[in-house]
Amino acid sequence: MTNNTKNSTQKQRVLITGGAGFLGSHLCDRFIEEEYEVICMDNLSTGSADNIAHLIGNDNFTFINHDVTNYIHVGGDLDLILHFASPASPIDYLEMPIQTLKVGSLGTHKALGLAKSKNARFVLASTSEVYGDPLTHPQAENYWGNVNPIGFRGVYDEAKRFAEAMTMAYHRFHGVDTRIVRIFNTYGSRMRIHDGRALPTFMRQALRGNPLTVYGDGSQTRSFMYVYDLVEGVWRLSQSDHVEPVNIGNPDEITILEFAKEIIELTESDSEITFEELPKDDPQVRQPDISLAKEVLDWQPAYDRREGLLKTFDYFKKKALKDTAHIDE
């Protein structure tokens, strides 16, 4: 990829920070399938060893327990770094606000420094949260966002916005080969059922027969993407020559109230719906404009929402059978 001196018989090597997390672990799988040697780095603050247990013992997989806000050392060559380390759910970044900011700033700085020293391509996992509570709809990459920098969500939003700025600075000043993916709401297996996001919360409540909690009147919208589509988009971006940020998301927009009803129907639950006060700075709309991804990556979602939801619900049901605590705690 970027290391032209590598012997053609040697495998490409990729470091995936946050590799034991929901998204990171699926990326580990994909790069193993693509015959890369994968180095997974995670401090397990929000990731889980269970997510990568099936890869332990694979000759092409190495796990390093490390906090990326500290100096990062990886021996040997690296061809690619995927920087996916970060708390990513509201519960996580509200409970760990300073750590969230440190991962976005110090962690990104350390990972970019490693990319520079190894002459490795660098892919930053950014987020649709950089658009904040958007004033344009749908959101395209040229929209600068509407973010409250001192609000509760600001620790995550600003961490990612800073990470993007740092990434582009390293690209422009140091010539690091960088990519930025802005990820919209993603769901699938290996999500934590208590991570606070709408889908796992609704599925947990439906499995228990409890009321589904909708905030506000439920008219706020989201666009949900199945994790395999996200992985495909990141893979294509990592192999592309496009430097500017790219939205990866499913533009199939739905209100949260409609989504709650959809989960009840899909799970055949008797749950009702209750309403609670809308959290401050909660975005009213969220829908990606994926024109750029279609143009430069030839990418668009392949899974419709029902197909992905059925696969995800099956995962949560199996997980509940293995460990009742995930449902009943």
From the list 282, 61, 319, 326, the residue with the least C-alpha distance to 189 is 319
Cα–Cα–Cα angle for 14, 229, 322, rounded to 5 degrees: 85
Q: Let me know: does 124 contact 107? Beta carbons within 8 Å.
A: no
Catalytic residue among 131, 156, 226, 228: 156
Q: Where are the beta strands (DSSP E) in the chain?
A: 13-17, 37-42, 61-65, 80-83, 121-127, 178-183, 186-187, 212-215, 221-223, 225-226, 246-248, 253-255, 273-276
Residue 65 phi/psi, 5-degree rounding, is -85, 105
How many angstroms separate the CA atoms of 295 and 280, rounded? Answer: 36
143 as an active site residue: the answer is: no
DSSP letter (8 states) at residue 249: -
Which residues, other chains included, contact 264 with Cβ-Cβ below 8 Å and sequence gap of 6+? 206, 212, 271, 273
Length of the chain: 329
Catalytic residue positions?
156
